[in-house]
Amino acid sequence: MESFLLILITGIGLGALYFLLASGLSLIFGLMGVLNFAHGAFLTVGAYIGLWVSTKIMTGGSTLTLIAAMLIGGIGAGIFAIIVEQLVITRLYERHIDQALVTVGVSLVTAAVLGGWFSKDPLMIPTPKWFFNATNVGGAAIQQDRFLYIAVALFLLLLFISILQFTRIGLVIRAGVENRSMVTALGINVRLAFSTVFFMGGFAAGIGGVLIGAYIGGVTPHMSASWLIYGFIVVVIGGPGSLGGSALAALLIGVTQQFANFYLTGLGDFVVVLLLVLVLLLKPEGLLGKAKS
């Protein structure tokens, strides 16, 4: 039972990190049809800004420092996302191959610049003392950072759902996911919605970058590479454009991966790919995605 609880909560924590990366990716693809491989760069930029805040601006590895690193890292990554959108992506709408190539390029350039500026070696984000302490849950010793990942992901999920459900820009985004050209035919400048989505996506990825940096034990220029793959898998399984779908898929993948790693001796990645294949075969629009008519 202790092992079960440990794996379950660790899996949910991992799923929370996947969600932070995938939520923006899903909205950006769902609303704009943009294959944004630069999304991993948003994560990395957020992580380095968080690192800079927690080592140069504030010191001591306190809880406050970590919160500031997440917030400023998130905002910085959000602004970086808008810059990438305005400078690069607005010129490439409907050109999927060009989008993929150019955004991969942005990712590589960003990694090279960050590597040259900071270091190519892993740099530790200072964390509070409680971060890696264990808490007893039903007999299982759970590392406390997992609860932070879950809380942050839940907070962002609720924040994004509130923005989407209760604000005018959210209404425009939801409508745009469904039928972008009709939104413009109602006199709405859908570009503003696009930039908002890029900021939201960059913000979540930036916060995710700080937390992932802490989780994997160091920030590196290429830290987002493997995470971005999982981000895309979450988007496909959850359904592009569906925030709830991303949350559900991230949870499913995180938990399945952890259980498979434990009970099938390290086959977690294989089982996740199997899950992806099953969803593509049985429900190609994703768990909560809308089938294209």
Partner 1 sequence: MSTLSLRDVEVTLNGSHILQGVSFDVPENKVTALLGRNGVGKSTTLKAIMGLYPSTGTITHLDKNISDLPTYKIVRRGVGYIPEDREIFATLSVKENLALAVRDSDPNYELAYSLFPELMQRSHQRAGTLSGGQQQMVAIARALLNKNSILIIDEPTKGLAPKLVTAVAAALHTVAGESTMLIVEQNLSLIKRISEHLIVMDQGRVIFEGSPDNLHDESFIKSMLGVSAGGK
Minimum distance of partner 1 from residue 90's CB (angstroms): 12
Minimum distance of partner 1 from residue 191's CB (angstroms): 9
Q: Which two tokens stand for residue 91?
A: 């010129």
Q: Give the interface segment with partner 1, choosing from 9-17, 34-42, 126-134, 184-192 (CB under 8 A).
A: 184-192
Task: Say how many Å lie between the first and final Cα of the chain, rounded.
Answer: 46
> How far apart are alpha carbons 162 and 144 in whole angstroms?
27
Pick from 59, 133, 167, 179 the residue near partner 1 by CB under 8 A.
179
Minimum distance of partner 1 from residue 236's CB (angstroms): 20
Are 62 and 42 within 8 A, CB to CB? Answer: no
Are 275 and 256 within 8 A, CB to CB? Answer: yes
Minimum distance of partner 1 from residue 180's CB (angstroms): 10
Minimum distance of partner 1 from residue 202's CB (angstroms): 24
Nearer to partner 1, 222 or 290 (CB): 290
> How far apart are alpha carbons 287 and 161 in whole angstroms?
18
Minimum distance of partner 1 from residue 138's CB (angstroms): 39
Asked if 167 interacts with partner 1 (CB under 8 A), we say: no
Pick from 156, 157, 188, 251 the residue near partner 1 by CB under 8 A.
188
> Computed over its alpha carbons, how large is the radius of gyration of the chain?
19
Asked if 121 interacts with partner 1 (CB under 8 A), we say: no
Asked if 197 interacts with partner 1 (CB under 8 A), we say: no
Place of tokens 């099938």: 264
Task: Detail the DSSP E strand segments found in 91-212.
Answer: 134-137, 140-143
Asked if 182 interacts with partner 1 (CB under 8 A), we say: yes
Minimum distance of partner 1 from residue 29's CB (angstroms): 17
Q: How many residues bind partner 1 (CB under 8 A)?
A: 17
Asked if 173 interacts with partner 1 (CB under 8 A), we say: no
Sign of CA dihedral 14, 19, 25, 29: positive
Q: Which two tokens stand for residue 174?
A: 């939801």
Q: Give the interface segment with partner 1, choosing from 21-29, 125-133, 172-180, 207-215 (CB under 8 A).
A: 172-180
Helix (H, G, I), strand (E, B) or coil at 265: coil
Return phi, psi of residue 135, to 5°: -120, 140
Asked if 190 interacts with partner 1 (CB under 8 A), we say: yes
- Binding-site ranges for partner 1 (CB under 8 A): 171-172, 174-175, 178-179, 181-190, 290
